[in-house]
């Protein structure tokens, strides 16, 4: 497929992608839903106003003239597919409707550098899973030894916890170093202060669509109907605060201070060509978690760090989404099997995605093995065990086609000093 819009070589946003995001127009400050194409943003609200969407559901709704994707997410997979097909057609080189209408084109197509990207959804609830076996094994080994690395429930259910939706922020938002209780000396009382062990966590997440009613559940074979699309997630972690607080109820202040997401939501239809098999399960799961076919995706992931003295980010981790033991469908089925309702715009994240080799570990906790093996950074940047003030973390992800990439852009954040 070819488009009349210029798409630079290596762009994350070719015609095969068309991710959705929410942006602020530079001319009037209006907030609309758009699609990324090359270095441009296509304003879907403008196209809707011109009557270029014909689906019945869109006649009664105005899902693009809004400051979030929630309304569009709620309409379900058939509408998502119809909109994707229409936008693809309008952007094709052999379609004159948008290409030849200069006034419409100038109003609807904006330079991506000229718009302000916003959080893509009004996130009602946020759940973080723990679905990478390599990550869980590494962390368990550090704290409990190899014999007890995985808890007995880990291979039977997707372990997760309920995070804090209010502190999910869009890429580019600075992150303040959090304060809390820590207990560095097991033989002394805890102390209060800024975290000394600030970490990133390389994750992916998905936004839910129509969802289920309270008291009902979503079957694993139906879960795809409720998965709108995916984003990069950096679920920042204060390891020392978390280590003291998490027994017996789990993460709290060590995680709730910030979670960064990339602004562009890549639809599952764009990722379909990259579907692949995941790891073989240790044993057959319970009936409600059984699934057939391939439910992983070959998505390359990278994390880089840029200190205040560096001119460019330095990659410290390369991983892949296909390493996850539990699939998104299994996560959603487990989340709702007790009758818990999910709603349009809820965010479910994978947990740290680590691979089988040390350079594929998705956190500094693992990359430096709890600080015992510092990372050397280039030039005069020195080394890192955990993040320092002024450090900027840059995460990116893409799936590689024969002659194009279906990418997610970046999820970035800079560490500010504690107050």
Angle at Cα 32 formed by Cα 226 and Cα 9, nearest 5°?
80
User: How confident is the model over 62-82, as pLDDT tens digits?
Assistant: 999 999 999 999 999 999 999
User: Which of the residues are catalytic?
Assistant: 135
Confidence tier at 154 by pLDDT (50, 70, 90) = very high
The strand pair at 126-129 and 347-349 is best described as parallel
Residues 94 and 136 in one domain: no
pLDDT of residue 325: 98
Residues 212 and 244 in one domain: yes
Residue 406: strand pairing partners: 399
Euclidean distance between CA atoms 165 and 70, whole angstroms:
15
Residue 22: strand pairing partners: 33
User: How confident is the model over 261-314, as pLDDT tens digits?
Assistant: 999 999 999 999 999 999 999 999 999 999 999 999 999 999 999 999 999 999
Q: What is the mean pLDDT of residues 398-419?
A: 96
Q: What is the mean pLDDT of residues 52-58?
A: 87
Strands (E), 268-404: 275-276, 296-297, 300-306, 314-320, 347-349, 375-376, 383-384, 392-400
Residues 84 and 147 in one domain: no
- 95 to 55, 87, 91, 100: CA distances (angstroms): 19, 11, 7, 9
Cis peptide, bond prior to residue 248, ω within 30 of zero? yes
Is the pLDDT assigned to residue 1 strictly greater than 80?
Answer: no
Beta carbons within 8 Å of 92's beta carbon, 6+ residues apart? 1, 2, 3, 4, 15
Residues 145 and 92 in one domain: no
Within a domain: 142:
yes
Domain count, the chain: 2
Residues 266 and 393 in one domain: yes
Structural domain for 310, as ranges: 126-416
Is the pLDDT assigned to residue 61 strictly greater than 90?
Answer: no
Confidence tier at 55 by pLDDT (50, 70, 90) = confident
Within a domain: 327:
yes
Euclidean distance between CA atoms 49 and 57, whole angstroms:
15
User: How confident is the model over 347-395, as pLDDT tens digits?
Assistant: 999 999 999 999 999 999 999 999 999 999 998 999 999 999 999 999 9
Beta carbons within 8 Å of 221's beta carbon, 6+ residues apart? 291, 329
The strand pair at 198-199 and 20-24 is best described as unpaired
Residues 70 and 201 in one domain: no
Of 88, 117, 146, the residue that ends a domain is: 117
Find the CATH number of the domain harbouring 102: 2.30.30.230
Within a domain: 59:
yes
Query: Which pair of structure tokens corresponds to residue 252?
Result: 């709290």
Euclidean distance between CA atoms 281 and 312, whole angstroms:
40
Residues 58 and 160 in one domain: no
Angle at Cα 326 formed by Cα 296 and Cα 250, nearest 5°?
140
Residues 207 and 303 in one domain: yes
Q: The dihedral of CA 6, 8, 13, 15: what is its sign?
A: positive
Angle at Cα 13 formed by Cα 165 and Cα 113, nearest 5°?
75
Mean pLDDT of the chain: 97
Name which of 190, 185, 179, 229 is nearest 206 in CA terms.
229
């Amino acid at each position: 497929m070819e488009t009349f819009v210029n798409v630079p070589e290596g762009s994350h946003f070719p015609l095969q992608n068309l991710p959705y995001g929410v942006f602020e127009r530079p001319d009037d400050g209006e907030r609309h839903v758009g699609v990324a194409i090359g270095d441009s943003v296509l304003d879907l609200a403008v196209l809707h106003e011109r009557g270029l969407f014909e689906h019945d559901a869109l006649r009664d709704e105005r899902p693009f003239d809004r400051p979030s994707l929630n309304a569009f997410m709620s309409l379900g997979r058939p509408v998502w597919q119809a909109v994707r097909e229409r936008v693809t057609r309008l952007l094709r080189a052999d379609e004159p409707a948008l290409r030849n209408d200069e006034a419409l084109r100038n109003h609807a197509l904006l330079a991506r550098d000229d718009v302000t990207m916003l959080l893509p959804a009004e996130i009602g609830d946020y759940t973080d899973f723990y679905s990478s076996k390599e990550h869980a094994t590494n962390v368990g080994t550090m704290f409990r030894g190899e014999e007890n690395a995985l808890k007995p429930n880990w291979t039977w259910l997707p372990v997760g916890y309920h995070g804090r939706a209010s502190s999910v922020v869009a890429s580019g938002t600075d992150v303040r170093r959090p304060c809390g209780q820590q207990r560095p000396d097991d033989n002394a009382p805890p102390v209060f202060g800024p975290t000394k062990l600030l970490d990133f966590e390389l994750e992916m997440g998905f936004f839910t669509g129509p969802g289920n009613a309270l008291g009902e559940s979503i079957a694993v074979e139906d879960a795809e109907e409720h998965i709108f699309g995916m984003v990069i997630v950096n679920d920042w972690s204060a390891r020392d605060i978390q280590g003291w607080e998490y027994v017996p109820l789990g993460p709290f202040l060590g995680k709730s201070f910030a979670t960064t997401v990339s602004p562009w939501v890549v639809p599952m239809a764009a990722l379909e060509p990259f579907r692949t098999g995941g790891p073989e399960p240790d044993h057959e799961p319970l009936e409600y978690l059984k699934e057939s076919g391939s439910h992983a995706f070959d998505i390359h992931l990278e994390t880089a760090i840029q200190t205040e003295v560096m001119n460019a980010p330095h990659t410290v981790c390369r991983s892949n989404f296909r390493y996850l033991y539990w699939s998104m469908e299994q996560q959603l089925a487990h989340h709702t099997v007790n009758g818990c309702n999910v709603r349009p715009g809820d965010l479910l994240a994978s947990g740290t995605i680590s691979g089988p080799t040390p350079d594929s570990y998705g956190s500094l906790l693992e990359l430096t093995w709890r600080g015992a093996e510092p990372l050397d950074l280039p030039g005069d940047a020195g080394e890192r065990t955990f993040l320092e003030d002024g450090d900027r973390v840059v995460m990116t992800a893409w799936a590689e086609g024969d002659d194009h990439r279906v990418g997610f852009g970046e999820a970035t954040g800079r560490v500010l000093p504690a107050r």
